[in-house]
């Protein structure tokens, strides 16, 4: 499938979800379980992307101090925890990776 | 008429602090989309067609990894599920507007526009012009997203190709996920999804991502239900 078809389908699905209940007003209630589940979508999806990005190296699991991306990611986690600032987190993680690559 | 205008600008003003955070986010998306191999036109078009930050980042990454389109579309659907909740939450406040307005406001319904609109409606109730408030907030965010994407695309074309720019993606997601880890179920959802994603990394078509997300969401929901 080419990128334009992917974007069109993704866009249509997203639009349908945005319009869903505004359009169906009052005809349906969201089930409690579904409402509860939505809160966990961001932490689950985002972590499922972040873990392999930091810990997989050339198709192999690499949880060692020699893994610069894992160390830089840990620094980003600490920065995010203490500052809650997206831009600072990216800058700290990126600076850490560049520095580690320079040293290593 | 003038009440509509007042409501519109109040929405724009309320959105303003969020725009400051969204602007660099849009720029990073533009840079990453080019880095992932999207053409400048496709990168910009995605900001108009999908118009949802994190799912655009993920799409760029999956396109780069040559994941099949159907899996990408499925991933976009899961990541954007939360918009149904916003839709349900705003529906009672938009009951009296025309279908045309509903169609337009649904297109502009993002995390950031929802956040300021629901705050306004909960506080001040619904007036005949209150849909203009959501329109103002949504349009302000939409314009900012398009312009910041464009600047990111222009910037991305000039950055040296040996910089590890792809690392900005996990970094951005770390910045987004940490504030969401407010309690045990959320931490359990995140950790289980992360571990499954590692264990299922070898699955074809990046299906490990969807599997990991589903397990994390299910575990978080289960733990929350037991409380």
Instruction: Give me the interface pTM, i.e. the ipTM.
Output: 0.88
B123 min Cα distance to partner chain A (Å): 20
Q: How high is the pLDDT of residue A86?
A: 80
Residue A57: strand pairing partners:
A60
Rounded to an integer, what distance in angstroms lies between the CA atom of residue B16 and that of residue B1? Answer: 23
Q: What is the 3-state secondary structure (H, E, C) of B177-204?
A: HHHHCCCHHHHHHHHHHHHHHHHCCCCH
**Interface check B102 vs A, CB under 8 A:** yes
Rounded to an integer, what distance in angstroms lies between the CA atom of residue B213 and that of residue B207? Answer: 10
Nearest by CB to B212, from A7, A48, A53: name it. Answer: A48
| Residue A91, token pair as written in the block | 């800058």
A66 min Cα distance to partner chain B (Å): 17
Count of C-beta atoms within a 10 Å radius of residue B117: 29
Closest CA to B26 of B11, B41, B14, B43: B43
**Interface check B171 vs A, CB under 8 A:** yes
- What are B37-85's pLDDT values in tens digits? 999 999 999 999 999 988 999 999 899 888 999 899 999 998 888 898 8
Contact B193 A43 (CB under 8 A): yes
| Residue B221, token pair as written in the block | 């929901």
- What are B161-215's pLDDT values in tens digits? 677 877 888 898 899 899 889 999 999 999 999 999 999 998 887 788 889 999 9
Q: Which residue has the tokens 């945005």?
A: A18
pTM confidence score: 0.81
Count of C-beta atoms within a 10 Å radius of residue A94: 19
Backbone angles phi, psi at B170, to 5 degrees: -60, -35
Question: Which value, in Å, is the radius of gyration of the alpha carbons in chain A?
Answer: 20
């Amino acid at each position: 499938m080419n990128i334009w078809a992917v974007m069109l389908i993704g866009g249509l699905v997203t639009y349908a979800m945005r319009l869903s209940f505004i359009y169906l007003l009052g005809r349906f209630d969201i089930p409690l379980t579904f409402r509860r589940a939505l809160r966990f979508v961001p932490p689950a999806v985002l972590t499922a992307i972040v873990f392999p990005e930091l810990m997989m190296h050339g198709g192999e699991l690499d949880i060692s101090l020699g893994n610069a991306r894992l160390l830089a990611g840990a620094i980003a986690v600490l920065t995010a925890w203490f500052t809650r600032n997206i831009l600072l987190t990216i800058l700290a993680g990126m600076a850490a990776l560049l520095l580690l690559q320079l040293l290593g | 008429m003038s009440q509509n205008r007042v409501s519109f600008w109040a929405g724009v003003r309320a959105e303003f602090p969020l725009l400051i955070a969204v602007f660099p986010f849009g720029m990073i998306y533009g840079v990453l989309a080019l880095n992932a191999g999207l053409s400048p036109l496709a990168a910009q078009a995605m900001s108009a067609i999908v118009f949802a930050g994190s799912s655009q980042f993920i799409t760029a990454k999956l396109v780069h990894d040559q994941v099949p389109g159907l899996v990408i579309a499925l991933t976009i659907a899961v990541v954007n599920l939360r918009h149904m909740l916003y839709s349900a939450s705003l529906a009672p406040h938009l009951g009296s507007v025309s279908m045309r307005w509903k169609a337009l406001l649904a297109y502009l319904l993002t995390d950031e526009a929802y956040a300021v609109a629901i705050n306004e409606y909960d506080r001040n109730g619904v007036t005949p012009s209150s849909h203009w408030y959501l329109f103002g907030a949504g349009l302000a965010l939409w314009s900012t997203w398009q312009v910041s994407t464009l600047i990111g695309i222009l910037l991305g074309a000039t950055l040296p190709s040996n910089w590890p720019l792809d690392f900005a993606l996990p970094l951005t997601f770390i910045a987004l996920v940490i504030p969401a880890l407010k309690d045990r179920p959320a931490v359990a959802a995140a950790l289980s999804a992360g571990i499954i994603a590692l264990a299922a990394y070898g699955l074809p078509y990046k299906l490990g991502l969807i599997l990991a997300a589903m397990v994390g969401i299910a575990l978080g929901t289960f733990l929350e239900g037991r409380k």
